[in-house]
Chain A
């Protein structure tokens, strides 16, 4: 864990993160897009331990991505508590949540992960532009930002200067997803959120991709929350949660009426 004096949030990162019992701790969480609509996310309780790899499996459009946005602090729940690394996100201002996300959370999307006008290397280094914490971690690991990026890409089977300097638009979808994974892992964030990153890959590539991501997560004891509609992935994870069992918006609505 990095030790770095700075704002409240950063000091907290140094002192509490290591001691937090759970990386993710949700309770009584309710979120709806409009105040008068029924909630799309309603989770009574969810705890994820450090280093745990959790699969959230459920159909598309059922609110899984919304949950990830809540965990990342992009969205704010109307009700309930979202504690990440022991920090209550609901108590933070929007700018602090943005900084918290920059420092502690990596994200991989299904598609459109990369900034098209940046090279592979520039894309991977991007998190360090928004977070000095993650930049410092790269440096403390005994390597510069560029070296760390090259090492991560190497670990994900993207090798050589040729690929580092290439525009991302020239890569295949599978390669792009691995670049996105490398970027999300830059500077060793404690929590990695993945939103259907394998759905555009074929079965062989999917398994290979997951294996690479898992290996990297293990190295840094990164907690992984992985969202997918694909139930066949379940055996690969420490824990597989059925989204419909976890998220029960209808149960909430009943007592209100």
Chain B
């Protein structure tokens, strides 16, 4: 009966009540959305590289190397010479290597030059290998394998011809239009940056740049190229003789080739620290080797500050939502004192009056929470493609995590706690008022 009264009373004030519920719902959706985004971005970051024991690039910061090589965020300033790569790949501890050559793009998507080892050894999300959804791996210099997202966004299929551009931007300054590629394969979706890459062979990258150099219509690229050659020359001096021992025995183009970075899988994981040290201290060429897991932790530390401030903001929004409810409840009290006096005359006890207001606060909070969660799920369902495309974050529509559940309970507790204020106030008022309101 008291419940029925409370509901009818609420229906009577449905406009204010709806606004209160709306503000709580938005606050809860924001709070949980921020938390979910944090979880999912960590997860998708964390699952982007697995099974790789070391990542090696030219000397740079660990975070920069990780972001550039795996997440394709930013660029590496210097390259690694092919001979040095060969030398390290030949070490007895090394099980496999994947060379990565970045720096070109196609309509905003990065082009990754690599070898077929990429398909054989690259692992993500635990121990999943790359799979082709359509077609086959690239073979000769004119073939490309697309990530799932690339194919989806650009609506490319097998047989599509593409032209790659120098640089990573959406708007390219120099097109390698004399070297069009043909799409021969499309990878299955992975939920990692692989989806957003166009994979071609290293030889293809060489060919593109060899041709491009002759045109010399991009002074910046030409300058970079020249600097790179000079560097390689220096490096080549020291590792003289080893260049001849190249496994694939390719021509001069391959010997002058540089790569952005390479991934290493070791025969024995426990050798990772030892190898890292040896590479970092190598005098042949200044290199940086990182343990992806350890560097990922560094990335989290950098992101933690941003995450925290985002969290604080969303918490504040929850506080504002609940404060709105408090204001709505308090302003309704004067009007409701008469109501309470009538109920008291009819035999309602002061705690009935207390429960009526507290119940209302609890009900509004729960309703707001439920709507907020519903809004979040709807938002995730609707916003998923956009998030994938623009942020590379893959949101899953799953049950709320323990943390999310914890936050919801926290909001509920805060809502009820805030409800105590008007409830206690009207309790005191109705004790003093009795059946007649003394204003």
Contacts and interface: CB of A to CB of B under 8 A. Distances in A.
Contacts of A74: 344-345, 434-435
B185 interface: no
A69 B347 contact: no
Interface string A213-245: 000000000000000000000000000000000
Interface residues of A, number: 30
Contacts of B345: 72, 74, 101, 107, 109
Interface string B427-439: 0000000111100
Interface in A103-120: 103, 107, 109, 112-118
Contacts of B436: 65, 69, 109, 195
Contacts of A94: 349-350
B346 interface: yes
A88 interface: no
A127 B347 contact: yes
Given A65-B436, A69-B434, A74-B434, A113 B349 contact: no
Interface string B334-345: 000011011111
Nearest to B434: A74
A129 interface: yes
Contacts of A117: 8-9, 11-12
A172 B179 CA distance: 89
A78 to B, nearest CB: 15
Nearest 7 A/B pairs, CB to CB: A102-B347, A117-B12, A74-B434, A130-B347, A129-B1, A107-B345, A112-B338
Given A69-B435, A72-B435, A112 B341 contact: yes
B347 A98 contact: yes
B397 interface: no
29 contacts: A65-B435, A65-B436, A69-B435, A69-B436, A72-B435, A74-B344, A74-B345, A74-B434, A94-B350, A98-B344, A99-B347, A101-B347, A102-B347, A102-B348, A103-B347, A109-B341, A112-B341, A115-B343, A116-B12, A117-B8, A117-B9, A118-B5, A127-B346, A129-B5, A130-B1, A130-B346, A130-B348, A131-B347, A183-B346
Interface in A19-67: 65
Secondary structure of the B contact surface, majority rule: helix
A75 interface: yes
Interface of B: 1, 5, 8-9, 11-12, 338-339, 341-350, 434-437
Contacts of B346: 102, 107, 126-127, 129-130, 183
Contacts, number: 71
A122 B347 CA distance: 16
Given A65-B436, A69-B435, A69-B436, A115 B344 contact: no
Contacts of A72: 345, 434-435
Given A95-B349, A195-B436, 17 more contacts: A72-B434, A74-B434, A99-B347, A101-B347, A102-B347, A112-B338, A112-B342, A112-B437, A115-B342, A115-B343, A116-B12, A116-B339, A117-B12, A127-B346, A129-B1, A130-B347, A183-B346
A246 interface: no
A139 to B, nearest CB: 17
A131 B345 CA distance: 12
A118 B8 contact: yes
A117 B338 CA distance: 13
A68 interface: yes
B349 A98 contact: yes
B322 to A, nearest CB: 25
